[in-house]
Amino acid sequence: MEEKTIIKSENKSFLGVALGGTIVAIILFFIPIIEVSSHPPFAGKGISYNLGYNSLGDILWPIALVVLLLVWVVYFMVAKNEITVTDKRIFGKAAFGKRVDLPLDSISAVGMGLLSSISIASSSGSIRFSLIKNRDEIHNAISKLLVERQGKEKQATTTTIKQEIPQSNADELKKYKDLLDSGVITQEEFDAKKKQLLGL
């Protein structure tokens, strides 16, 4: 049977955020330099000023570096995220372009999180796909597939063959004795049934 694609992800662009973060980092880097150049340190103090020591620079330069690293690490982490849901499996690329291929039977749960992310839990762990525009539609499609699978499994396990539980010969004989005592059957009918049940 052919594999049928149900839904594919549409990714949000994080490039604008990464470029904006880079601009913020550059501004944070240049603020101490601009501050030092606009207030010359030499006014009556001699040339003992050390450009490496600037309290504003000591604070802003590490922040600029952290912002720059953070936005580009997040960008490369989520830039290639994609997910495709079929009637048999879920596949695509997760964080840092890691290829993922999960059979539908191995998936135990699906959830949603921050950064328009969707996480899929399986026996081998949880995988997160971030910045997915149509996250809600993908979540609904996977949830529907999981519910259908559970319904089929439940139907397969609850299908039972009804069998009559045979009564023991003693129970059957007691039933006929009660019928005899109440006058519903005769002694001859009871004796015949007794021989039949006891195999005489």
* Average confidence (pLDDT) over 114-120: 85
- DSSP assignment of the chain equals ----EEEE--BPP-HHHHHHHHHHHHHHHHHHHHHHHHS-TTTTT-S---TT--HHHHHHHHHHHHHHHHHHHHHHHHTT-EEEEESSEEEEE-GGG-EEEEEGGGEEEEEEETTTEEEEEETTEEEEE-SBTTHHHHHHHHHHHHHHHHHHHHHHHH-----PPPPPHHHHHHHHHHHHHTTSS-HHHHHHHHHHHHT-
- What digits encode the pLDDT tens for the residues 81-104? 889 999 889 998 888 888 888 888
Q: How far apart are CA 150 and CA 134, in angstroms?
A: 25
What is the model's pLDDT at position 162? 47
Q: Are 86 and 131 in a shared domain?
A: yes
Residue at which a domain ends, from 43, 78, 113: 78
Q: Are 153 and 183 in a shared domain?
A: no
Q: Residue 68 domain-assigned? A: yes
Residue at which a domain ends, from 78, 93, 122: 78
Q: Residue 3 domain-assigned? A: no
Confidence bin at 139 (pLDDT 50/70/90): very high
- What digits encode the pLDDT tens for the residues 145-194? 988 888 777 666 655 544 444 567 778 888 888 888 888 888 988 888 88
What strands lie across the sheet with 5-8, from one edge to the other?
A: 5-8, 82-86, 89-93, 99-103
Q: Which residues contact 88 (CB under 8 A, 6 or more apart)?
A: 3, 103, 104
What is the model's pLDDT at position 54? 54
Q: Residue 164 domain-assigned? A: no
* Average confidence (pLDDT) over 11-22: 79
**Nearest 5°: phi and psi at 87?**
-75, -5
What is the model's pLDDT at position 127? 87
Confidence bin at 105 (pLDDT 50/70/90): confident
What is the model's pLDDT at position 140? 92
* Average confidence (pLDDT) over 108-129: 86
What is the model's pLDDT at position 167? 62
Tell me which residue has tokens 């979540």: 139
Number of domains comprising the chain? 3
Q: Are 54 and 90 in a shared domain?
A: no
* Average confidence (pLDDT) over 8-30: 82
Confidence bin at 137 (pLDDT 50/70/90): very high
- Domain holding 46, by residue range, is 13-78
